[in-house]
Amino acid sequence: ASTGVIGEPMDAGAFTGLLADMASAASPAAWEDAARAIMTTDTYPKLSHATAELNGQTVHVAGIAKGSGMIAPDMATMLSFVFTDAMVDAELLQRLTRDTARQTFNSITVDGDTSTSDTVLVFSTGKVGRELTDPSSPEVLAFAEALHEVFLDLAHQIVRDGEGASKFVEIEVSGAEDDVAAHRIAMTLANSPILKAAIAGEDPNWGRVVMAVGKSGEAADRDRLEIRFGEHLVATHGQRAPGYSEEAAAAYMKQRELEISVDVGIAFGQARVWTCDLTHDYIRINADYRS
């Protein structure tokens, strides 16, 4: 795993001689130091921890991450390292990692830009309990829940710390042809510069939501389209909702945490993704800092 300016060779000799000293100086209390060491334009270190009870024993899942700009996983300038003391079959752990990343790290975006580096690694020391091998067992389900909690928390921290971000936005799409289509629609909304700018300007411009739905290329029924900003029904049956209040929606948009829900009226596919707004500070950061 690596990060830095693309195309600039890294001098490995600058740190290879330090590895032995770093290993001997390792400390259980150095989690924050490790999280801080991988930061680039991040404004704070990102850490998360969860536990699960497996057959009367407590197992831990702890992780760190970095990421603030060029965040559109598959691939992003995002690194995450997660550790557990649970004993998990390697193939099962790989499957859980892949599935959980799809629902979390691969469902966030800050700016829609990708990179040459995008890493999520999960390490198991196997110090606690019996080996987990059965995907349907209560123990594996409990461990998977703890893993998901850590992944999602770290993913959300990346979005909240997005370059120049002032808003945290959850976008939920339902009624799509399938879950893949719903995810594609949701990510199109989340990556739309003009919609993200409207969010930064606290403007409940639902026409920009409609634009992004169409831009996705996925099926949507105009006459069944429904849009909500939080609890505010903005559009129904493809038209402005009869009871819609622009004043109430504008007041809602002033909140730091927002929800945008869209039902495209085709079938039962659904997805949830997370993003932030696009502000003047994003331009300032990327104009002033070479990354």
In a domain, residue 227? The reply is: yes
Whether the pTM exceeds 0.85: the reply is yes
DSSP tally for the chain: helices H, then strands E: 10, 10
Successive 10-residue mean pLDDT values, the chain, 291 residues: 80 82 86 93 97 96 95 85 97 98 96 88 95 96 98 98 98 99 98 98 98 98 98 97 97 98 99 98 88 64
pLDDT at 28: 84
CATH number of the domain encompassing residue 248: 3.10.20.340
CB–CB of 197/205 below 8 Å?
A: no
Sign of CA dihedral 183, 268, 277, 227: positive
Contacts of residue 204, defined as CB under 8 A and 6 or more positions apart, other chains included, come to 198, 229, 232, 234, 246, 249, 250, 252, 253
Tokens of 8: 């600039």
DSSP 134: -
109: β partners: none
In a domain, residue 140? The reply is: yes
Judgement on whether residues 36 and 144 belong to the same structural domain of the protein: yes
Judgement on whether residues 135 and 196 belong to the same structural domain of the protein: no
pLDDT at 85: 97
CATH number of the domain encompassing residue 146: 3.60.70.12
In a domain, residue 281? The reply is: yes
Catalytic annotation on 116? no
CB–CB of 109/191 below 8 Å?
A: yes
71: β partners: none
Judgement on whether residues 174 and 256 belong to the same structural domain of the protein: yes
3 state DSSP class of 132: strand
Judgement on whether residues 126 and 200 belong to the same structural domain of the protein: no
In a domain, residue 18? The reply is: no
Tokens of 62: 């702890």
> Distances in Å between the alpha carbon of 195 and those of 203, 205, 206, 216?
9, 8, 9, 14
Residue 76: CB atoms within 10 A of its CB come to 25
DSSP 215: H
Residue 93 is part of which domain span? 28-160
Q: Which of 96, 128, 160 is the last residue of a domain?
A: 160
pLDDT at 291: 64
Q: Residue 200 and residue 43: Cα distance in Å, rounded?
A: 19
CB–CB of 79/3 below 8 Å?
A: yes
Tokens of 27: 């400390």
Sign of CA dihedral 153, 154, 157, 162: negative
The amino acid that residue 288 corresponds to is D
Residue 264: CB atoms within 10 A of its CB come to 25
Q: Which of 133, 160, 187 is the last residue of a domain?
A: 160
**Which of 3, 41, 77, 84 is the catalytic position?**
77
Judgement on whether residues 269 and 181 belong to the same structural domain of the protein: yes
Judgement on whether residues 194 and 279 belong to the same structural domain of the protein: yes
Number of separate domains in the chain:
2
Judgement on whether residues 154 and 278 belong to the same structural domain of the protein: no
Judgement on whether residues 177 and 151 belong to the same structural domain of the protein: no
Judgement on whether residues 32 and 151 belong to the same structural domain of the protein: yes
